[in-house]
Amino acid sequence: MNPKAPLLPSQRVVQVCLFLAGAIALFGGTVQMYLGEPETTPRLDNVHRFMAGIYFGSGLIALWTGINIREQSMLVFILAASVLLAGTGRLISISLVGLPEPHAVWLGYLVPEILIPIIMIIAQSITNKANQG
């Protein structure tokens, strides 16, 4: 793998998805760490802010992976699976307790959590096949 060769289009797609997911996680983690969940019990606020830290940390990992995209393959799949699992958790919540208000905002969170990892998995699979041949 030549480090000076231009990225494959599929690598660039994965890189953009990683930067997007990273930015969302950094922003979301920061906001949720700051806001917490004060209208609930101290236990739930504590868990909420802990998960905000995990969210922020996953954003750092996604950004690092995007920067080092040439050397990454399995980590791309792991990050994609993590985002897809997060979206799945949101779908389970919506099916069990309903869609929070305002609906458009929460659907705006859900759509990228489902689409971005699917795009990443497809594009990384294309990259892996191109690098094998």
pTM: 0.90
3 has pLDDT over 80: no
Domain range for 118 is: 9-124
* Farthest CA pair distance, the chain: 56
Question: Would you place residue 130 in the very low, low, confident or very high pLDDT band (cuts 50, 70, 90)?
Answer: very high
Q: How many domains does the chain have?
A: 1
> 5, 70 in Cβ contact below 8 A?
no
130 domain residue, yes or no: no
93 domain residue, yes or no: yes
Residue 67: which residues within 8 A CB-CB, separation 6 or more? none
The two three-digit tokens of residue 17, written as one number: 């998805």
Question: Would you place residue 38 in the very low, low, confident or very high pLDDT band (cuts 50, 70, 90)?
Answer: confident
Residue 7 has a pLDDT of 94
Q: Supply the DSSP string of 121-132, one letter for each residue.
A: HHHHHHHHHHHH
Q: Which residue type occupies 80? A: A
